[in-house]
Copies of this chain bind each other. A is one copy, B any other.
Amino acid sequence: MPTADTAYSRLEERFRRIYALEQATGVLDWDRATMMPDGGAEARTNQLTALEVTCHELLTHPEVGDWLDEAETTVTSDPAALSDWQRANLAEMRREWRHASAVDASLVAAITEAEGRCEMIWREARPNSDFEAVRPALQTLLELTRQMANAKAEAFGCSPYDALLDGYEPGGSSAEIDHLFDDLAVFLPGFLSDVLDAQAARGEAETPQGPFPIEAQAELGRRLMAAVGFEFAHGRLDVSHHPFCGGVPDDVRITTRYDESDFASALMAVLHETGHALYERGLPGDWRLQPVGQARGMAMHESQSLLVEMQACRSPHFLAFLAPLAREAFDGQGAAWEADNLHRLWTRVQPDFIRVDADEVTYPAHVILRYRLERQLLDGALELSELPAAWNDGMVALLGIRPPDDRLGCLQDIHWFSGAWGYFPTYTLGAMTAAQLYQAAEESLPQLSESLREGDFRPLMQWLRETVHSQGSRLSGDALITAASGRSLDPEVFKAHLRRRYLDA
């Protein structure tokens, strides 16, 4: 980094402050979900809002725009004035500045407030399956989100949906997503039918019988986290209502929730979140508090969790390592604890209503449904009053099942009710990216399956560190995938993975 006082050095200093405050937000968010007593909620909202407003002000202060202009002019006339990483950092600074500056502070505040209000009402409406109770608040939030999307679209010269998408998946485009998802939407119904037939022909897997004491589950989780590469000097495992990965790269905190009658759910969540955690931890240490040092979007993030959980940990190879540890942890008896049984059990496909519980094959259908609906809602082709029916019809069309109520339908996910519009496609883009990166890793590491069989994640993690984690946001998502696997995201790789695992097994 330059020590001279340049426009670029001033930008680095400003972003260092902003990211340190955003890290504070990360820890406070984690605490809210894991440690905070209920009575602390209002105070916490005040703390988080103050941080958000402060970061927005620090980013949109007029001097930041001037510094960006000046630094870009300098680098245009003399590219060698900055290193590759610095130039990439400057581009990411501009991207963040554009997002923040496109929206004025009063709209940011109005959205923050509407999100808080809508999410609070949704928490009551969901268990009561009462969509009408939350519809007015959701309508307000949707209209404000449209305003934000329109303002950003005008500033960026793209569609309103793509402007929102860019906040989660930088450079993402709905045209590309349409292309990928339309293909998948055609492929999946027939494939699903074939999988269900093949599965029926193989017969049911056995389910290990509990109870599974929580402390034993947590201990097994920690043991497997360590095997995958989690460093407990730089992180924690705790409990929250929904599993997540939070904290900051050098202190990364994952959570799960335990069910004494089913240890797989908590354990797979732990492995999934460990994938997220190792991405954060592996981001380039020299760029911790700079935009270029951050993860390359939510699709890439999801690819790292799914690569660990779905590609590696549910593979027969790793399950050969895991099965005896699980048996030992719970003093398990009989054939249910054999690796091939656990593999069948943990790759079982079953269309159902809830996305977060979905298997690898039906999950994309959930995402495609939400993606299509949120686009229609945002551009006004669908009214909120029509959402529950449209949701249920979509479930019939994509998965052949109709939710009996909105709790199992359009009320199930927090995203829209908390303002996360344009987020859903990243889940399936992540699954496709995971398949493609894993295939590339297998090609680079001929011993990969063998090492997983011994519980040795080091070769895979070293490959991921070098190829993905340590790259931060230096490259675009597409360039990162291409550099790692030799081509852009290719739906055929994901489909081939699904065929191999679910039909050829």
Contact = CB atoms under 8 A, between A and B. Distances in A.
Interface-central residue, A49, A232, A234, A250, by most chain B CB under 10 Å: A250
A44 B289 contact: no
Contacts of A233: 37-39
Contacts of A49: 20
A54 interface: yes
A35 interface: yes
Interface stretch (A22-30, A143-151, A190-198, A408-416): A22-30
A42 to B, nearest CB: 7
Interface residues of A, number: 38
Contact of A37 (B44, B251, B289): B251
Interface string A34-52: 0111111011101101110
A53 interface: yes
A231 interface: yes
A17 interface: yes
Given A27-B28, A40-B251, A47 B21 contact: yes
Nearest to A248: B43
Nearest to A36: B251
A20 B231 CA distance: 32
A39 B253 CA distance: 12
A20 to B, nearest CB: 4
A28 B54 CA distance: 17
Contacts of A37: 232-236, 251
Interface in A232-253: 232-236, 247-251
A31 interface: yes
Contacts of A474: none
A174 to B, nearest CB: 36
Contact of A288 (B17, B43, B247): B43
B36 A51 contact: no
Contacts of A39: 231, 233-235, 250-251
Interface in A285-302: 288-289
B38 A23 contact: no
A250 B20 contact: no
Contact of A28 (B24, B36, B46, B289): B24
A378 to B, nearest CB: 32
Contacts of A248: 40, 43, 47
A27 to B, nearest CB: 6
Nearest to A42: B250
A23 B43 CA distance: 8
A43 B22 CA distance: 11
B54 A21 contact: yes
B35 A236 contact: yes
Contacts of A21: 47, 50-51, 54
B23 A47 contact: yes
A289 B44 CA distance: 12
Given A39-B231, A236-B35, A251 B24 contact: no
8 nearest A-B residue pairs (beta carbon): A40-B251, A20-B50, A39-B234, A39-B233, A24-B47, A43-B250, A20-B46, A17-B50
7 contacts: A17-B53, A17-B54, A23-B43, A27-B47, A43-B249, A44-B251, A46-B289
Given A36-B251, A37-B232, A39-B251, 20 more contacts: A17-B50, A20-B46, A21-B50, A21-B51, A21-B54, A23-B43, A24-B24, A24-B28, A24-B50, A24-B51, A27-B27, A31-B31, A35-B236, A37-B234, A37-B235, A39-B231, A40-B247, A43-B249, A44-B251, A47-B248
